[in-house]
A = this chain, B = another copy of it.
Amino acid sequence: MIFTTKAEYGVRLLVELGRQEGDRPVALKSIAENERLPLAYLERIVALLKRAGLVESTRGAHGGYRLARDPSEISMDEAILALEGEVAPMSCFYDDSSDERVLCSHADETEVCATRVLWLRVQGGVTQALSRTTLAELVAFAQREPVETKPTAGAELPLHDAA
CB of A115 within 8 A of CB of B11, answer yes
Main secondary structure of the interface of A (DSSP, over half): helix
Q: How many of these chains are in the complex?
A: 2
A36 adjacent to B103 (CB under 8 Å): yes
Tell me if A28 is interfacial: C-beta within 8 Å of chain B: no
Q: Which residues A84-102 have CB closer than 8 A to chain B?
A: 87-91, 93-94, 101-102
Known: A3-B90, A118-B138. 17 other contacts (CB 8 A): A1-B88, A1-B90, A1-B91, A1-B93, A2-B122, A8-B104, A12-B104, A112-B141, A114-B141, A117-B138, A117-B141, A118-B129, A120-B159, A121-B132, A121-B133, A124-B129, A125-B126
